[in-house]
Homo-oligomer: A and B are copies of this chain.
Amino acid sequence: MKEKITINEFVSEEFLQSYFNRLYKICRSILGRGFRESLDIIGEIVKLNKKKIPSGTKVLDWTVPDEWNIRDGYIITPSGKKIADFKTHNLHIVNYSIPINKKVDLKELKKHLHSMPSMPDAIPYVCSYYNRTWGFCISHNQSLNLEKGEYKVYIDSDIKPGHLVYSDTLIPGKSKKEILLSTYLCHPQMANHELSGPLVWSILYKILKNTGPHKFSYRFLICPENIGSAAFLHYSKKKIKNIVAGYVINFAGHGKEITYKKSRIGNSLTDLAAENVLKHSGFPLRIIDFFPDGSDERQFCSPGFNMPIGLIMRKMWDTSGTWLTNLPSEHIFQEYHTSLDDPDKISFKTLIETIKIYYDVLLTIENNFVPLGKVQYGTPQLSKSQTKLYSDIMNFNIKAKSEQTRILLEILNLADGSEDLLKIAIKKNFSLIKNLDLINKLLKTKYIKKK
């Protein structure tokens, strides 16, 4: 993996914007036309490796549901006004609503109406994949002003057997060991969550595909959330033994903050590489322990798999009602799962920043090894080295030892073959990748070798 890449060769804000614009208003769900259309757009950037699993198939403890397609939906008020119009915003219809076309009074309607008192202007995102029902979502303010009388409710949808689709393209590397980069693509008209995920993920694919060969193989999984990762795992029980690190990518486009959610293991290669990069990134950072809720990490980090999968996010969703992660409010993405997660909430500049962060993390993993020092007994006489590693004049009052000298000495002192560079870097508080020049110089001069 190349230490320095020119990100502009692979992506621009305009490029991301154009894909975002095409994807934003598609009404996706976990199965159905919206998902397939969206995946095909992503397929223009990423060579896909699609798998199709029929409805009714058991994957792990789950059963693949029927697919859902929707064409239209709305409510006609007693005074004849059309509201909750699917064509205005596709969050107005509960995801996986059954078709309906009847007249109901206000009381009956309210049983099928969803709104959020805490965010009175937002249309909430509601879905009901495994429980057949119908419903509409409107702003709480609107819900407070509904007149009495007869409403027409109309949803033109169908739910019928189809296929779950996911894609798990592999970029083979020098080693069979894999790094999993995973994202999901099943949310309807919302911006940062989840479209930031597939966009970052696609560009990472583009970069890695064009800059190899890499040390590790990279598996790029895109699927509907939860049921999709369950399906992937179900059909990949052998493959996943090769996965040594990985990340679920989303919440990538809003906020300067970084929020890292650890894998269930807690100190895996995934966690250490992320921690090392993020602590030296300069961004406001919070690291939180794994908890068994969220997105596909629920499947990856279930007890039997217990995979080293973490999440590098910017602002993340609010868990304060249940998991007390002690995140300060500026790390919380308040507009999560509502219509307020609109195009204003995704920044293509931030996406590019996030792509760089992920690249740095992967670079860290690629460059990690267990160093074994040539000189184990006593210190090496570095003044003999042809390559200049150390200042000559031995007056440290005048010419202060540099931070690089400190790192050099720490690496040499700890290069006893018992721990890898990443652990040394974390213990001694330096960035592995910001010291690649030094590490390569030590390798070239043979002061250390890879154990």
Chain A residues packing against B (C-beta within 8 Å):
60-63, 114-116, 118-119, 124-131, 226, 230, 233-234, 237, 264, 291-293, 298-299, 301-306, 321-323, 336-338, 373, 375-381, 383-384, 392-398, 400-403, 405-406, 409-410, 412-416
How many Å lie between the Cα of A119 and that of B395 in the bound state? 14
How many Å lie between the Cα of A305 and that of B406 in the bound state? 20
- B114, A413: Cβ atoms closer than 8 Å: no
Copies of this chain present: 3
- A303, B61: Cβ atoms closer than 8 Å: no
- A401, B60: Cβ atoms closer than 8 Å: no
- A403, B303: Cβ atoms closer than 8 Å: no
Partner of A292, one of B322, B377, B402, B413: B413
Rounded to whole Å, the gap between the CB of A59 and the closest CB of chain B is 8
- B373, A129: Cβ atoms closer than 8 Å: no
- B376, A304: Cβ atoms closer than 8 Å: yes
Q: Among the interface residues A60, A63, A303, A305, which one has the most CB atoms of the partner chain B within 10 A?
A: A303
- If A233-B378, A302-B413, A393-B126 touch, whether A405 touches B60 (CB-CB below 8 Å) is no
Rounded to whole Å, the gap between the CB of A142 and the closest CB of chain B is 15
Residues of chain B lying within 8 A (CB to CB) of residue A125: 395, 397
Residues of chain B lying within 8 A (CB to CB) of residue A396: 321, 337
- A61, B380: Cβ atoms closer than 8 Å: yes
- B129, A394: Cβ atoms closer than 8 Å: yes
- A292, B409: Cβ atoms closer than 8 Å: yes
- If A60-B378, A61-B378, A336-B397 touch, whether A130 touches B413 (CB-CB below 8 Å) is no
Residues of chain B lying within 8 A (CB to CB) of residue A380: 61
Rounded to whole Å, the gap between the CB of A176 and the closest CB of chain B is 22
Residues of chain B lying within 8 A (CB to CB) of residue A126: 393-395, 398
- A398, B62: Cβ atoms closer than 8 Å: no
How many Å lie between the Cα of A402 and that of B237 in the bound state? 33
- A291, B410: Cβ atoms closer than 8 Å: yes
Q: Among the interface residues A127, A302, A412, which one has the most CB atoms of the partner chain B within 10 A?
A: A302
- B338, A397: Cβ atoms closer than 8 Å: yes
Decide if the interface of chain A is mainly helix, strand, loop or mixed: loop
Residues of chain B lying within 8 A (CB to CB) of residue A306: 416
Task: Give the top 6 A-B pairs by smallest Cβ distance, nearest first.
Answer: A304-B376, A60-B378, A321-B400, A292-B413, A303-B416, A304-B377
Partner of A378, one of B62, B383, B395: B62
Chain B residue with Cβ nearest A131: B392
Chain B residue with Cβ nearest A375: B61
- A124, B395: Cβ atoms closer than 8 Å: yes
How many Å lie between the Cα of A299 and that of B375 in the bound state? 11
- A322, B400: Cβ atoms closer than 8 Å: yes
- If A375-B61, A378-B304 touch, whether A394 touches B128 (CB-CB below 8 Å) is yes
Rounded to whole Å, the gap between the CB of A188 and the closest CB of chain B is 13
- A264, B124: Cβ atoms closer than 8 Å: no
How many Å lie between the Cα of A129 and that of B384 in the bound state? 12
- If A303-B416, A401-B321 touch, whether A230 touches B378 (CB-CB below 8 Å) is yes
Residues of chain B lying within 8 A (CB to CB) of residue A393: 114, 126, 128, 131
25 A-B pairs (CB sep. < 8 Å): A63-B381, A63-B384, A115-B398, A125-B395, A125-B397, A126-B393, A129-B394, A130-B381, A130-B383, A131-B393, A226-B379, A230-B379, A233-B378, A291-B409, A292-B410, A293-B406, A302-B375, A303-B373, A303-B376, A304-B377, A321-B396, A322-B400, A322-B401, A322-B402, A336-B397
How many Å lie between the Cα of A321 and that of B60 in the bound state? 56
Residues of chain B lying within 8 A (CB to CB) of residue A392: 128, 130-131
Q: Among the interface residues A305, A376, A392, A397, which one has the most CB atoms of the partner chain B within 10 A?
A: A397
- A376, B116: Cβ atoms closer than 8 Å: no
- A116, B230: Cβ atoms closer than 8 Å: no
Chain B residue with Cβ nearest A410: B292
Rounded to whole Å, the gap between the CB of A2 and the closest CB of chain B is 30
Residues of chain B lying within 8 A (CB to CB) of residue A62: 378, 381
